[in-house]
Amino acid sequence: AQSVTQLGSHVSVSEGALVLLRCNYSSSVPPYLFWYVQYPNQGLQLLLKYTTGATLVKGINGFEAEFKKSETSFHLTKPSAHMSDAAEYFCAVGDSSYKLIFGSGTRLLVRP
């Protein structure tokens, strides 16, 4: 069965600093991987997804993630944090019935 582990329930960075949110997955088949963002009192919005092809995936708002099969990881990065990036981020793996299995989420805090 697929599963996702997000390391760090809270990550705090200074504005302008690198953002790194960690995600490791477990999947017996080639995975479909996603990062979603949830702003306060809102639904989830897709940042980026990996299905097949290029292992470096670029998403919206300057985020990108690299699929590393050997490390079973799909970490999310952004070179320079902005105050508006403060939100909760969820990594998810898709299973064969196209439902999403989510990690526990990482809350990103951006310090001025």
Partner 1 sequence: DSGVTQTPKHLITATGQRVTLRCSPRSGDLSVYWYQQSLDQGLQFLIQYYNGEERAKGNILERFSAQQFPDLHSELNLSSLELGDSALYFCASMSGGSTYNEQFFGPGTRLTVL
Q: Which chain residues interact with partner 1 by CB under 8 A? A: 32, 36, 42-46, 49, 51, 90, 94, 97-105
Closest CB 16 distance from partner 1, rounded Å: 30
Closest CB 80 distance from partner 1, rounded Å: 26
Comparing CB distances to partner 1, the nearer of 70 and 97 is 97
Comparing CB distances to partner 1, the nearer of 13 and 33 is 33
Check if the beta carbon of residue 110 is closer than 8 Å to that of residue 55: no
* 78 Cβ contact partners less than 8 Å away, ≥ 6 residues apart: 18, 19, 61, 62, 63, 64, 85
Closest CB 100 distance from partner 1, rounded Å: 6
* 31 Cβ contact partners less than 8 Å away, ≥ 6 residues apart: 2, 25, 50, 93, 94
